[in-house]
Chains A and B, each alone.
Chain A
Amino acid sequence: MNKQSRHSFRQGVIDALPISVSIILFGAIFGLLSMQTGLTVWESLAMSLIVYAGSAQFTALSMLADQANLFAIILATFLLNSRHFLMGLSMAPQYQSFSPLQVNIMAFFLTDEQYAITLNRFRNHPSDLSYIVAVSLSLYVAWCGGTLLGTAAGQWIPDPEALGLGFSFTAMFLALAYYQLFSPLRILVFLLSGAVATGLVLVLPTGLHLLAAGLLAFLVGYFLPEKGKQQADGENVVQEVESA
């Protein structure tokens, strides 16, 4: 590593620091909830290491707790992470100079937060692999380390269900969903797909109601594009970036 890339690496770690701290907290909440769902410490840590996708992991836990079909969980993961298609697309210009192997590896680390930090940097700096690697590793270590901390804490909580901790998933999803609800149309879609999902869950209790809700939201977004919100690639996603 030459002097320039050492410098960008250090800058990447520094820029990622505040978000790394919140990711440790998020990871700890995930670890805690996974204990509550009945996963072992290793299963919980393995999910963070292998899947590495915050909101999808929370969703998987809540679906596992409901005995959902495994394909339904994978489908829900795909639907939730389909937002990364957009982020990858908007980062594409910054990855043009990297080798295929580098792109293949870095794609694993393209989370919402990594996207937000690197996008911000490359607005006024040239694209730089050491910087991306530094941000990516900081966040990955924070997420997996946080998970481990949470599993340790989880073993000390006696009966989470009796304490009302079952509500914790709903609380987390509400907080994350808030960032999505910045226009009247989006709020309407939220209420509408919520009603449809609730109706479906009464007849199809397998997690497929998530597919229906996601598809309904997609169709509304497709057929009723938001006026005045057609920003350049990325702008729109940045607003949603906090959501994972």
Chain B
Amino acid sequence: MSGTTILLLYLGMAAVTYLARRAFLRLPGNFFSPRLKNGLAFIPIGIFAGLIFPSLFVQEGSLVWQPVFLMASVVCLAAMAWTRNVFVSFGSGLALVVVISLFS
């Protein structure tokens, strides 16, 4: 990918991010209905699910079963529940995968 394409990509990403941050920074709080706010608050759940599940179950366009990744995912979530620390969770899940790939 060329440098110009990358720059255009960044500018596009920056523009939509800025739009979201700036848009309502000067609006009265009763502008949105509670329903709409709740809908907006749910969007990240869908986005994260859309990122996580295909990476666990799809590879090169077909369904796959990857027990090591699934086990590591459980470790990540358990570490989050236990420590509430993103770095401990990220580190322990990833460490499990790295250790297993080193010894297999």
Which residues does A use to contact B, with CB under 8 Å? Answer: 22, 25-26, 29, 39, 43, 46-47, 50-53, 55-56, 59-60, 62, 64, 70, 73-74, 76-93, 95-96, 103-104, 106-108, 110, 162-165, 167-178, 180-181, 186, 189-195, 197-198, 201-202, 205, 209-210, 212-223, 225-226, 229-230, 233, 236-237, 240, 242-243
CB-based contact A83/B73 at 8 Å:
no
- Shortest CB-to-CB span from B73 to chain A, Å, is 6
Q: Which residues of A contact B21 (CB under 8 A)?
A: 81, 84, 87-88, 107-108, 110
A-B contact count (CB 8 A): 291
For chain B, the count of residues having a C-beta within 8 Å of the partner chain is 76
Question: Quick one: given A84-B17, A212-B50, are A180 and B26 in contact (CB under 8 Å)?
Answer: no
Which residues does B use to contact A, with CB under 8 Å? Answer: 1, 3, 5-14, 16-29, 31-32, 34-58, 61-63, 68-69, 72-73, 76-77, 79-81, 86-87, 89-90, 93-94, 97-98, 100-102
Rounded to whole angstroms, the CA-CA distance of A52 and B89 in the bound complex is: 24
Which of A81, A92, A217 is close to B20, meaning CB atoms less than 8 Å apart? Answer: A81
Which of A51, A90, A106 is close to B10, meaning CB atoms less than 8 Å apart? Answer: A51
Among residues of A, the one whose C-beta sits closest to the C-beta of B29 is A233
Rounded to whole angstroms, the CA-CA distance of A46 and B80 in the bound complex is: 31
Among residues of A, the one whose C-beta sits closest to the C-beta of B6 is A43
Rounded to whole angstroms, the CA-CA distance of A93 and B35 in the bound complex is: 21
CB-based contact B13/A175 at 8 Å:
no
CB-based contact A197/B38 at 8 Å:
no
Question: Quick one: given A89-B29, A110-B25, A221-B41, are A197 and B53 in contact (CB under 8 Å)?
Answer: yes
- Shortest CB-to-CB span from A117 to chain B, Å, is 15
CB-based contact A218/B52 at 8 Å:
no
Question: Quick one: given A176-B86, A225-B38, are A190 and B48 in contact (CB under 8 Å)?
Answer: yes
- Determine the main DSSP class of B at the interface with A: helix
Q: Which residues of A contact B79 (CB under 8 A)?
A: 175
Q: Which residues of A contact B55 (CB under 8 A)?
A: 62, 169-170, 173
CB-based contact B9/A74 at 8 Å:
yes
Rounded to whole angstroms, the CA-CA distance of A211 and B83 in the bound complex is: 31
Rounded to whole angstroms, the CA-CA distance of A79 and B31 in the bound complex is: 20
Rounded to whole angstroms, the CA-CA distance of A22 and B16 in the bound complex is: 25
Q: Which residues of A contact B45 (CB under 8 A)?
A: 177, 180-181, 186, 189-190, 193, 217
Q: Which residues of A contact B86 (CB under 8 A)?
A: 22, 26, 172, 175-176, 242
Which of B5, B12, B32, B101 is close to A89, meaning CB atoms less than 8 Å apart? Answer: B32
CB-based contact A213/B94 at 8 Å:
no
CB-based contact B101/A162 at 8 Å:
yes
Which of A172, A178, A198 is close to B53, meaning CB atoms less than 8 Å apart? Answer: A198
CB-based contact B43/A194 at 8 Å:
no
